[in-house]
Amino acid sequence: ARPVTVPDLHLAKQAGKRLTMLTAYDAGFARVIDGNGVDLILVGDSLGMVVQGKANTLGVSVDDIVYHTGCVSRAVQRALVIADFPFQADASRERALDAATRFLQAGAGMVKLEGAGHKLEVIRHLVEREIPVCGHLGLTPQSVLRFGGFRVQGRDDAAAAKLREDALAVQAAGAALLVLEAVPSSLAAEITRALEIPTIGIGAGRDCDGQVLVLHDMLGLDSGHRRPRFVKDFLAGSGSIAAAVQAYCSAVRDGSFPDDEHSYAH
């Protein structure tokens, strides 16, 4: 199948086709994910938790993401591979450009970074230098210390207004895609309608333009952490990893995942 490109993302939104994304960190899983219809593969800094066994994502390095992006990219033929900025590697335009260049040279086709605010100039800097960017708002795990834990975001009117404003600003800065994590479904729906770029939800309800889950979560592996509401085990009842990936893609595409049970009403 023809590789997924950055312009395809916008076309998918215009055509009303939901995008499927999963994380992967190695060649074996990347191959089965890619071979069973997933459009986007994220080499997430979640690897700090699910691969390295750390309590949060703050200890991941640029070298880690470069290494795992290489492992994944070598196995992928169709999906667009997205490399995730680790903590503070996107803190300045210069650091971000150096890291993103290494991610693309390792095989990524896009990079992802958390936040708005001072990150907006970083997004602009990268996009102007031909590096496609995916934003990430809502429960940004690199903000865990300020949030005081992994908490749903955008619940009160002021926080919702700020999130809407940030989403528009991330788009204006040049991002081609936006992950919305752990926000009320109605707010994610509103943001999705307001944006021209596709939104990818995780704990953000069914009205996003696509969905993402951490691979280990959708295969039902116990992370050793409290399981968030939005996690669903697609391996249970599927019989194989390939079938689980197919079941996830079908459920995302037909809008049956996430249902209310796996979303936040407010």
- Kindly list the residues in this chain that would bind ligand KIV in the complex (CB under 6 A): 23, 42, 44-46, 84, 179, 181, 202, 212, 214
Residues annotated as catalytic are: 181
Among the listed residues 34, 84, 166, 209, the single contact to Na ion using CB under 5 A: 84
46 annotated ligand-binding residue = yes
Residue 202's binding partner among ligand KIV, Na ion, none (Cβ under 5 to 8 angstroms by kind) is: ligand KIV
A 10 A CB-CB count for 8 gives 16
DSSP bridge pairs for 179: 136, 200
Residue 84 marked ligand-binding = yes
* Nearer Cβ to ligand KIV (171/199): 199
Q: Rule CB under 5 A: say whether 90 interacts with Na ion.
A: no
- Looking at beta carbons only, is 149 or 237 nearer to ligand KIV? 149
Q: How far is the CB of 39 from Na ion (least distance, A)?
A: 18
Whether 259 and 253 have beta carbons less than 8 Å apart is answered as no
Name the residue nearer to Na ion (CB basis): 107 or 141: 141
From the list ligand KIV, Na ion, none, pick the one residue 42 interacts with, judged by a Cβ distance below 5 to 8 Å according to partner type.
Answer: ligand KIV
Q: Write down the H helix ranges in the chain.
A: 6-15, 27-34, 47-50, 62-73, 93-105, 119-128, 144-147, 157-172, 185-194, 215-218, 241-253
Buried b (16+ CB within 10 A) or exposed e, 35-51: bbbbbbbbbbbbbbbbe
